[in-house]
Amino acid sequence: MKFLYAVILSLLVYQARADIEYRDFKQPEQEQAYQTLISELRCLVCQNQTIADSNADLAKDLRRQVYEMLQQGKSRQYIVDFMTDRYGDFVMYKPALKLKTMLLWLGPVLFLVIGLATVWVLRSKTAVIDEPLSKEQQAKLDSILDKGDDA
């Protein structure tokens, strides 16, 4: 039981965050934009964390950069462009939909289609044709059934 509690408790732990700096925002929308942006930008030093989650120096600098740009009244798109101009599409956890990232976006759909097509082909190949048995087949079946297990 103790073990079970431990498991349940560990599932309740929310992902740790590292953005501990105090930031002052004039409007709540700005703070919302800040929170959204820093949890969408990848920390390039520790590639599987966002800059909100990471403690790395670069993540701190990028959080500062995002904050300052928001304070200057820059739009979300401006900040996203600023980051991708410098670090490439990879810096966004959710890359923009364009020709270069098409495979990334459509890949899963492509695989689903391939999978469904495979299932469909296999099913139609092995589909049982529901024809009644011929007289000889029926007779053979009856004789086998009559004999039972001791045959």
Binding mask 127-146 for another protein (x = CB under 8 A): --------------------
88 binds another protein (CB under 8 A): yes
Residue from 21, 24, 57, 150 that binds another protein (CB under 8 A)? 57
122 versus 139: smaller Cβ distance to another protein:
122
35 binds another protein (CB under 8 A): no
48 versus 134: smaller Cβ distance to another protein:
48
CB of 75 to another protein, least distance (A): 19
90: exposed, middle or buried (Cβ count in 10 Å: 0-12, 13-18, 19+):
exposed
Q: How would DSSP label each residue in 39-100?
A: TTBBPSSSTTSBTTT--SHHHHHHHHHHHHHHHTT--HHHHHHHHHHHH-GGGBSS---SGG
84 binds another protein (CB under 8 A): yes
Q: With beta carbons less than 8 A apart as the criterion, state whether 96 and 88 touch.
A: no
81 versus 142: smaller Cβ distance to another protein:
81
Tokens of residue 67, six digits: 């904050």
The contact set with another protein (CB under 8 A) reads 44-45, 47, 57-58, 61-62, 65, 84-88, 90
